[in-house]
Every structure is written in structure tokens, then in C-alpha cells.
Amino acid sequence: MFILAAAGSAVGLGNIWKFPYITGENGGGAFVLMYLVCILAIGIPIMMAEIMLGRRGRKSPINTMRDLAAADGLNPAWGLLGWMGVLAGVLILSYYSVIAGWALAYVFRAGAGLFNGLDAKGVGDLFGGLVGSPEKLLAWHSIFMFMTMLVVAQGVKNGLEKAVRWLMPMLFVLMLVMVGYAMNTGAFDKGLDFLFSMRFGEVFHACETIDGTQICEFSWQPLLIAMGHAFFTLSLGMGAIMVYGSYMPKRASIAAASIWIAIADTSVALLAGMAIFPIVFANGLEPGSGPGLIFQTLPLAFGHMPYGQLFGTLFFVLLVFAAWTSAISLIEPAVAWLVENRGYSRLRASVVSGVIVWLVGIGTVFSFNLWSGDQYKLFGKTFFDLLDFLTANIMLPLGGVLIAIFAGWLMSRAASEDELKLAHPALYVTWRFLVRFITPLAVFIVMLNALGVF
């Protein structure tokens, strides 16, 4: 159940929405290989550290970090790391819920056959009609938040475990159905070639056409993007994995669980690519079409393919399931803290947290319509853009670096060895080296790159 829950936290819109389009933009197979290496060298070591801290503390991230710091005679200000994780989860869910609301709306649009026969302009108008309407976005945002809090309010056994027991297997089944459909598009081989062929020359050359002449320069950007996505796709740095670790049985292996979570997360991302790229190529669409790949490019394909209405509906149901399992984990640290420190019932803590997230989410709803004008922007960014930038580029990587520093440098070696219980001393030495030197440096570089330092 722990592996299913943590995998559900990791598997989300980043796997099915973001991974295919950044793979498309960065050359395919060579990018995928870099991403897998980064999962091994960056993602798994930090995940092991975060689970270890959670299980050692057995409380919400805020109380866990405070207690563990006290146990090693460290400054109690380390509790602020827990606070930052909880705040990041609340902020991320506030806009994540709005984007998930788009997927929820598209389930019904696909099911009603609204994609059938549409051209590019028609699909664009359909999407524009959704995001341009604050009433529609607010309604779908509200429905998705209600779905999330309904599960969270039931608690760990009756809510979280029951939800992931059904949602995660259904997610994989739906994904395999979509891959099975992609096999019959006539472009499955082309999709696999794009996803798994190693073309390093294309990946590391950023090209642009100036006055009819194509000019290419060497660029490390794809590697930095792969490093960043490997970190973010595993839900690291926001306290979600830490609070799940607090529920993990003592007898369970942290290393094995981390590897299985990474395998599940990566499998969904690769299956998403195997499902999406054949559909893209079969319909003459552009694999590098960016964030609009899911909401504006694929509906065009679903509208013209055999059984497109059915498989379009299944695809967006899949997207909603992935978003739902992640949303549950994003709010869990805040709910756990309210139960522990304020003595709230699980239901009351869920309602209070959910209402706060819902209210903050209204800013994201308005970012796409009423507040989209320049007069409402700060530093040239909408409310949604600011939240996304603050959480993805500052709070999460900073949280990841601090978790690595605490687990690798400050927590006693005896405590980390006792908690990890790795089968061979060499494995512990390898983990400790990665979490002390490689992962903090890599995540810090990603953070500086995202901030535009280089």
C-alpha cells in the first residue's frame, strides 16, 4: 500500500502531460536515456532520504524535522523545512487542481463527441472557450477539490489506501489499453523509434533559422531539463513523500520501496510516450508542440481517428486518475499537521485545508481570463505563472537540497544506517556519497538554471 500510495503521489500530470511534450521538444530517445540516468543518480537517493526522515520522525513533516533536529542537537529552525514543504504542497495543489479540472472537463467533452470532425481552429476554440470562462474553470476546480478532499477526509486506511488500491491498478490498465490502441495506428514503429532511438547529436544542438540559414549551437539545456524533471516527477521536496514515509512499516525496505516507486513512475511516463507519439505521427502532428500537446493537439487526432470518441474519453479519464492520486498526497502534509498540532478531526482538517487551497486556486482560475491582462501581472507573470515559478524553481529544489544536506551531512550516520538497513555496506556508502555530493549539486544547478543564472 505504501508503494502504491507513494507511486500515486509521483505519477501525475508530469508523467502523462509534461513528459511526452518535453521528450518531443528535446529529441526523443537520447533525452529519455538522460532522464533515466538522472532518476537513478538524483531521484532515488533523495527519495530514500525523504522516506527515511519521515519514517524516523513518524509525524507530519514540520514536527518530523523539528524532532529529528533536536535528536541530533541541531537548530530547531530545521522545522522550517517542513513548513516550506507543506506550503509548497498547498500552493501547487491550488493550481494543479485547476489544470486537473481541464482534464475533468475534457472527459465529458470527449465523451459527448465534441472533438469529432474538428479542425485545428475548432479544437483551439474549444480550449479557449473553457479557459476563457471563469465560471466554467471555477466549477471544474471546485469539483476536483471536492473529489480530493472526499478521499483525504476518510483517513489513511479508509481513504488513502482504498483509493490507491483501485486507482493505481486502473491507471496502469487504462494506460496499457491506450498503448494497445496506439499499436494499431500504423505509426507505432515510428513512435517507438522516436522515443527510444539515441540521437545525441540532435539533442545537444539547439538550432534556429536566421535569414533562411539554420544555425546550430551546442547546448546543455536538454540535460538540465532531464535533471529537473527527474527530480520533480517523483514528488520530492514538498513533504508528500516524507509524510507517506511516516506511515511506512518498520520492516519494509526503504531502498526497495524507492526503486519500485521510481520504476512505476518511469513506466507510466514511458507508456504515455508509447501511447501518445504513435497517435501524433499517425495524424501528421508535431511531437514537439509543447504544453498544448494534450489539450489542443491530441483532441484533433481523437476527432478524426476510428473509435476516437471512446479512446479520447479513456485518455482523459486516465489523466484525471493520475492527477487525483497526486492531489491527495499534496494536501496530506497540511492535514496531518492540523490533526497533530491543532487536535482537529480528520474531517475538519480536510475541510479547512481544502477550503484554503480552493480559495488560493481562484487566483489561477482568473489568471487565464479576468486577470490575464498586463495590469494584473507582477514581474511580467500572471498569478498562476508566479505560483508555478515560485514552487517549481525555488521551493521544491531548495527543499530537495536541504533534505539531502540534512540526511547526508547532519543526521548521525548510526541513525541513517539503522533506518535504511541496506543489505551491503557498499550500498550505504554509495547512497551516502550520492546524497552528500552528487544530488545536492545537481539539484542546485537545476535551480540556478531555472532562475536564469546560466
Helix axes 254-282, 29-38, angle to 10 degrees: 170
Residue 86: how many other CB atoms lie within 10 Å: 27
> What is the reported pLDDT for 207?
60
Cell numbers linked to 122 = 475548432
- Taking the C-alpha atoms of residue 155 and residue 205, their distance in angstroms, rounded to an integer, is 50
Under DSSP, is residue 381 helix (H, G, I), strand (E, B) or coil? strand
- Taking the C-alpha atoms of residue 301 and residue 284, their distance in angstroms, rounded to an integer, is 9
Here the CATH number for the domain that contains residue 201 is 1.10.4160
> What is the reported pLDDT for 206?
60
How far is CA 32 from its chain centroid?
17
Q: φ and ψ at 22, to 5 degrees?
A: -75, -30
Look up the domain containing 441 and give its range. 2-205+213-450
Q: Are strands 213-218 and 205-210 parallel, antiparallel or unpaired?
A: antiparallel
> What is the reported pLDDT for 90?
96
- Taking the C-alpha atoms of residue 410 and residue 332, their distance in angstroms, rounded to an integer, is 26
Mean pLDDT by 10 residues, the chain (454 residues): 85 85 83 92 95 95 95 93 95 95 95 90 90 96 96 81 82 88 90 83 63 68 84 87 91 95 93 89 79 80 86 90 90 94 95 98 96 90 92 89 96 94 94 95 86 74
- Find out whether 123 and 300 touch, Cβ atoms under 8 Å: yes
* Number of independent structural domains in the chain: 1
CA angle 24, 27, 32 (to 5 degrees): 85
Q: Which of 120, 433, 28, 137 shows the shortest CA–CA distance to 304?
A: 120
Residue 23: how many other CB atoms lie within 10 Å: 28
Under DSSP, is residue 290 helix (H, G, I), strand (E, B) or coil? coil
- Taking the C-alpha atoms of residue 242 and residue 253, their distance in angstroms, rounded to an integer, is 15
How many CA atoms does the CB half-sphere of 219 hold within 13 Å? 17
How many CA atoms does the CB half-sphere of 102 hold within 13 Å? 22
- Taking the C-alpha atoms of residue 85 and residue 347, their distance in angstroms, rounded to an integer, is 22
